[in-house]
Every structure is written in structure tokens, then in C-alpha cells.
Amino acid sequence: MTVPAFVEARRSIRAFSAEPVARDALDGLVAAACFAPAPHHSRPWRFVVVDSPDGKAALAAGMGARWRGDLTCDGVDPARVDELVDASLRKITGAPALVLGCLTWNGLDRYPDETRQQAEWGMALLSLGAAVENLMLAAAEAGLATCWVAAPIFCPEAARDALALPTDWLPQALVLVGHPDPAYVARRRPPVPLDELRTHR
């Protein structure tokens, strides 16, 4: 049993050339995302393609302001806060395009108790993860570079409001998309210790 080459070929690439990514190509990646499995035939995901300078700046600023507040509350040194937030702004605005993966309750089941309600949301989030992986695999296949950025899951409302999205769209996953910077070298990928990571019963 070997791992298919297209699975192994996908890497997180954090540096891009200046070449823009065509809207059609970005829409194609979103279409690939939408082939993901989802709980009980729902499609709880919404995707926002952000390729305008204003959109990228607004999203980065909205999430950055929230992160600045969190870091300050954590007691992080103000100079370090500036450094971290500036680096995050540069990372997000420096990518040729962004795809923001959101979840909505539309199509999901509602339960009267918190435990099952959280499980339902957890299922939707798993499904969004599968959609994001589809998107990144499709990008790799097309010769595009991607990197998943965690930020929105920590501040979904700030990300939503920065882009004036509908109130029920809750951003959870951000993917940077671009043509790879040919000078970028991906981090060494450690071998998979299969015997530690799986068991048989």
C-alpha cells in the first residue's frame, strides 16, 4: 500500500510569486472544496474568495485588531505584539488571493441540548476540514501554492464583520493561494510513524 503521489505532493507553501491567480482558477478550487463529504447531505460551508487589495487589507486588519487585544490581555510585551500583528498582516495581505472557509447552521440539525448541538457543529467543522483539504489538493494539482491559516477560528465574528458577510456565515479557515515562489523550500516533512499513529483491533 503506497500513499498516492497527489496526496504526498501537497505541502504548505508560505511564499508566493507576484503573479495573480485567475478568478476562474480560484472558483475551480472552491468547486473542488464543495465535493467534500458533509453530514446528512448538508452543505454547511460558505466560501469567500478574497482577491482584492481592499478585501485582504480589511480581513487582515479586522483579525489583527482582535489578535492585538488578545495578546495584550495575555500580557505580551507591546513591542512583541506589534511584531506579531504586523507579521500576520503582511502574511495575509501579501498572498495573491485568499479563500475564507465559513460555516453556517443552514442545513444542520438543531438539538435542544448543548452536547448534541456541539457535536453537530463539530461534524460541520470536520466537513469544512475535508473541503479545505480538497481545495488544497486541487491547488497542488494545478501547480498552485496554498497554506492554511488558523486565525479566523479564533475570531470568526471579527473576520465576518471585516468583510461585511452575512451574520450567519462564521469564518473558520483561511487559505492563502498563489503561484509558488520558486525560491521557497518547504519544511522537511518528518516520516510518518505509522506504528505510533494507528492501532489495529
User: DSSP state, 107?
Assistant: T
- Contacting residue, 189, 198, 200, 201, with ligand FMN by CB under 6 A: 189
Burial class of residue 10 in the structure, from the number of CB atoms within 10 Å of its CB (0-12 exposed, 13-18 middle, 19+ buried): middle
Under rule CB under 6 A, residue 148 binds ligand FMN: yes
Is residue 109 within 8 Å of 120, Cβ to Cβ?
yes
Cβ closer to ligand FMN: 9 or 22? 9
Please report, for residues 44, 46, 50, 144, the alpha-carbon distance to residue 168 in angstroms, rounded to integers and kept in the order given.
11, 10, 18, 30
Pick the piece of the chain touching ligand FMN (CB under 6 A) from 51-59, 61-69, 70-78, 142-150.
142-150
> Considering beta carbons, is residue 38 or 149 the nearer one to ligand FMN?
149
Q: How far is the CB of 136 from ligand FMN (least distance, A)?
A: 8
Using CB under 6 A as the binding rule, whether residue 84 contacts ligand FMN is answered as: no
Between strands 170-178 and 145-149, the pairing is antiparallel
* Using rule CB under 6 A, residue 11 touches ligand FMN: yes
Which segments of the chain does DSSP mark as H helices, in order? 5-9, 23-33, 53-73, 78-94, 114-141, 156-162, 194-197
Taking contact as CB under 6 A, which single stretch among the options 59-67, 77-85, 148-156, 191-199 is the one that binds ligand FMN?
148-156
Q: Does 87 bind ligand FMN (CB under 6 A)?
A: no
Comparison of 104 and 172: residue with beta carbon closer to ligand FMN: 172
Please give the residue ranges that form the binding site for ligand FMN (CB under 6 A). 11-12, 14, 147-150, 186, 189
